[in-house]
């Protein structure tokens, strides 16, 4: 058969088969309605199942605030270097630098490379702050740019700041452009000594789930214990070290896993979501 005739024959055969397929599906849809609806239901159920997997596989997302005159990279090295993967792989951690370059010597100089940053400046007695409003605006910008976030992980100055943010947000004094803070991880934290911040940040008590790391030899231990009184049902992890990112012993690892499981349910809405039995 000549090539042109062969091509014409193949095209006509393809078109005829397509028409027959269309007529078949029309007949089945008219005479057997369950045929069409069962196909759609199957696709819908697959879509729901895929949606359910996506929802429940989302990790709680944290904006991580480093300590005084360190950096996001330093905190990242400390967390990932000391915490097991069984913990870190269940959290979505975003590390950022503070808004201001360190205005003095860093305590980690010689241990970690510069540059070093700070979130705000304070007087020696920590009762007066400078650039605190700028700090709040910067954190909000980070949350808009890299978010959405479920909460904060903070160490030292970053922990003091993190612990104050839910209360300030609730009173309309910070983070108005972002979602409500749902959870906190506080490491080596303390209550702010600034009278204005303390008055607004801790009353009423903070309701979001929180876990607090208290070091036996941490110079902020007493203030960290005082901070616990500002939270409803805080989870506490005690460790024998000082003002540092601690590793986990077996008991504390269990506590942390249970806390993560609890907040995972909260941020994914597992306790509120319902699905059809045949989904």
Q: How far apart are CA 11 and CA 149, in angstroms?
A: 56
Q: How far apart are CA 154 and CA 8, in angstroms?
A: 72
165 lies in some domain = yes
Q: How far apart are CA 213 and CA 244, in angstroms?
A: 10
CATH of residue 135's domain is 3.40.50.1820
23 lies in some domain = no
38 lies in some domain = no
29 lies in some domain = no
pLDDT mean across residues, the chain: 83
Q: Domain span at residue 143?
A: 56-268
Q: What global pTM score does this model have?
A: 0.78
Q: What is the pLDDT of residue 20?
A: 52
- Average pLDDT for residues 170-191, to the nearest whole number? 97
Number of independent structural domains in the chain: 1
Could you tell me which of 23, 131, 32, 113 has the C-alpha nearest to residue 73?
A: 113
27 lies in some domain = no
78 lies in some domain = yes
Q: What is the pLDDT of residues 125-137, one digit of tens each?
A: 999 999 999 999 9
Assess contact for 237 and 213: CB atoms under 8 A.
Answer: yes
118 lies in some domain = yes
199/9: higher pLDDT: 199
What percent of the chain is predicted at pLDDT more than 90?
Answer: 74
66 lies in some domain = yes
Q: How far apart are CA 69 and CA 155, in angstroms?
A: 12
Q: What is the pLDDT of residues 67-118, one digit of tens each?
A: 999 999 999 999 999 999 999 999 999 999 999 999 999 999 999 999 999 9
């Amino acid at each position: 058969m000549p090539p042109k005739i062969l091509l014409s024959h193949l095209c006509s055969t393809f078109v005829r088969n397509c028409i027959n397929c269309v007529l078949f599906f029309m007949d089945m849809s008219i005479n057997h309605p369950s045929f069409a609806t069962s196909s759609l239901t199957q696709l819908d159920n697959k879509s729901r199942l895929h949606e359910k997997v996506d929802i429940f596989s989302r990790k709680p997302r944290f904006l991580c605030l480093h300590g005084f005159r360190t950096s996001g990279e330093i905190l990242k090295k400390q967390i990932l270097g000391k915490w097991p993967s069984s913990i870190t792989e269940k959290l979505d951690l975003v590390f950022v630098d503070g808004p201001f370059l360190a205005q003095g010597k860093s305590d980690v100089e010689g241990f970690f490379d510069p540059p070093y940053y700070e979130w705000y400046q304070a007087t020696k007695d920590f009762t007066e702050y400078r650039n605190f409003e700028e700090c709040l605006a910067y954190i909000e910008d980070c949350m808009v740019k890299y978010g959405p976030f479920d909460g904060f992980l903070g160490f030292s100055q970053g922990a003091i700041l993190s612990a104050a943010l839910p209360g300030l947000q609730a009173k309309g004094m910070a983070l108005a452009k972002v979602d409500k803070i749902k959870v906190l991880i506080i490491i080596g934290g303390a209550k702010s000594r600034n009278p204005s911040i303390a008055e607004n940040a801790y009353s009423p008590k903070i309701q979001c789930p929180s876990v607090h790391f208290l070091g036996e030899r941490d110079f902020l231990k007493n203030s960290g214990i005082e901070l616990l009184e500002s939270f409803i049902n805080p989870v506490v992890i005690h460790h024998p070290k000082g003002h540092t990112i601690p590793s986990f012993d077996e008991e504390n690892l269990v506590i942390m896993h249970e806390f993560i499981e609890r907040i995972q349910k909260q941020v994914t809405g597992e306790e509120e979501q319902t699905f059809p039995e045949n989904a």
